[in-house]
Amino acid sequence: MVAQASGQSWSSYFNTKLRNRIGMTGAWLESGEDLSVYWSTTRSMARFGLLALNRGKWKEEQIVNENYFSQCTSTSQGINKAYGYLWWLNGRESYRLPQTQLQFNGSLVPSGPSDMYMALGKNDQKIYVVPSRKMVVIRMGEAADGTSFALSDFDYVLWEKINAVIQN
């Protein structure tokens, strides 16, 4: 759809409209099963996290519509309260994990801040955004517990450790 509407490939559109404007590096890698993965560096993912923290604004320029970010980081439907538009939302009363029909009560990451929203990527890659703390945390590397499911033990342990050193 983006290619048809813009007359550019997705990669070219993304690079022009977002990547190059905020100084990211990386490229979209196509993987069989209709899956695209953005391969990049920790620094570039941090830049994307900062763009999200600032609700689409980079320096003095509004790159992505601020209202869109408000919608992205709000519950998008009634089936999964902890999911917006491509962002996972902490602090909700319940959640469902990808590829399951099970509903779990409580917050996605109970030890994490309730206003935190997260990009939970392939192989346990993460971008955590915490507006109340003006904080972005990036996790790259192999899956923490050998699985590539959305959450891992890493999430709980990380926020327990961060909470031990940071006071609200």
pTM for the whole thing? Answer: 0.91
Which residues are CB-neighbours of 23 under 8 A, at least 6 positions away? Answer: 44, 47
On the CB side of 84, how many CA atoms lie within 13 Å of its CA?
20
pLDDT above 70 (res 146): no
Sequence ranges of the domains in the chain = 1-40, 42-165
Q: What is the DSSP string of 46-68?
A: HHHHHHHHTTTEETTEE-S-HHH
* Distance in angstroms (rounded) separating the CA atoms of residues 145 and 152: 6
* Distance in angstroms (rounded) separating the CA atoms of residues 52 and 38: 16
Please write the tens of the pLDDT for every residue from 19-48: 999 999 999 887 666 667 788 999 999 999
pLDDT score recorded for residue 95 = 93
* Distance in angstroms (rounded) separating the CA atoms of residues 149 and 101: 14
pLDDT above 90 (res 152): no
Please write the tens of the pLDDT for every residue from 59-103: 999 999 999 999 999 999 999 999 999 899 999 999 998 778 889
Is 56 in contact with 63 (CB distance < 8 Å)? Answer: yes
The closest of 105, 98, 153, 163 to 130, measured between CA atoms, is 163
Residue range 42-165 forms a domain whose CATH class is alpha beta
The backbone region for 105, taken as left when phi is positive above 0, alpha when psi lies in -120 to 50, beta otherwise, is: beta
The closest of 82, 101, 80, 100 to 90, measured between CA atoms, is 82
